[in-house]
Amino acid sequence: MDNTANIDWTSLGFGYVPTDYNVRVSYKDGKWGEIEVTKSDSINIHMAATCLHYGQEIFEGLKAFRGKDGKIRIFRLEENAKRIRRSAEGIMMEPLPVELFKEMVIKVVKLNERFIPPYGSGASLYIRPIELGMTAQVGVKPATEYLFMIFVTPVGAYFKEGFRPAKIAIYRGYDRAAPLGTGRWKVGGNYAASLAAGQKAKEGGYAAVLYLDPKEKKYIDECGPANFFAVRDNTYITPKSDSILPSITNMSLQQIALDMGLKVEARPVPVEELATVEEAAECGTAAVAAPILQVDDIDTGVKYVISKNGEPGPVTTELYNRLRGIQLGDLEDTHNWVTVLD
């Protein structure tokens, strides 16, 4: 297969670049059909489909990497398969079987192999599974027909300016998700709810928004489209609540922290605790771990300086390097997180 897509890998951003194929499967008459491979980048959808009117839409994000040995590695494929099933169950969609999810991901990656960036470029192949409610109806009830599809696109390194801490903001007038709502599932509406505060933060010179719990505004919730963690006294601390999406990256970093000899605490984290932490970062598929320089609580005027010297903390750096090493095949995959393609 031609592995020479005409792309300047080093200048890639985190956006959409067309690739050769995507894969799809439909749920009709109570069962999933056969996998369809297509070059089309559009879908035919009824104007009354439930995904358009009642938010029956879920998605995932994972990555494939090319190692120094030339092999292709997909990170935590099975965990993404399980999480999108939980999202489907949460908003009454038909869950895709784990094995069918894995088959579709592997197929679409292999079909688009020439778009997997080379080792050392800092880039990767982003994999985007999405499920849509397709039934045409105006009554508020679950669809009976669904479309599950996966496309891929090469994306650049998250840290264009290097692995540097950034400022983030707290805006108490915004919530990302409601208590016991859809925050724990990867639903598009959660991201729509974060756009206004995210744009406000960008205009204010901040990299992201740190949301507080939507019930009492006392505890740290999520950091925009990512989870949050902090380090203090040899302990990895991450918020726990029913409105936070369980991040697969965060789950992985917690295990690596344990491997490094740290303690791990997943618990409610009062916002005032930011004054005592030694390091902090947002974590997710895109960045792995993005160190935080300072958190400004806009409404109270309190500024929490996390990085006193303006540099990433040693624990965050080690966590980042270890996870990246596993993804690329540079470090041993002792927890069997990586699927290596033949």
Give me the phi and psi of 39, to 5 degrees please: -95, -10
Residue type, 275: A
Q: Which residue has the tokens 């890998």?
A: 9
Q: Which residue of the set 102, 186, 215, 263 is catalytic?
A: 186
CA–CA dist 242, 140 (Å, integer): 25
Which stretches of the chain are DSSP H helices?
50-53, 77-90, 98-111, 188-192, 195-203, 248-259, 314-328
CA–CA dist 87, 84 (Å, integer): 5
Q: Which residue has the tokens 């005032």?
A: 272
- With contact defined as beta carbons under 8 Å apart, do 10 and 121 qualify? yes
> What are the C-alpha distances in Å from 248 to residues 62, 67, 108, 285?
9, 21, 21, 8
Nearest Cα to Cα of residue 146 among 97, 83, 108: 97
Bridge partners, 340 (sequence order): 73
Residue type, 299: D
CA–CA dist 189, 185 (Å, integer): 10
Q: Is residue 68 flagged as an active site residue?
A: no
Q: Is 136 exposed, middle or buried (0-12, 13-18, 19+ CB in 10 A)?
A: middle
Catalytic residues: 186
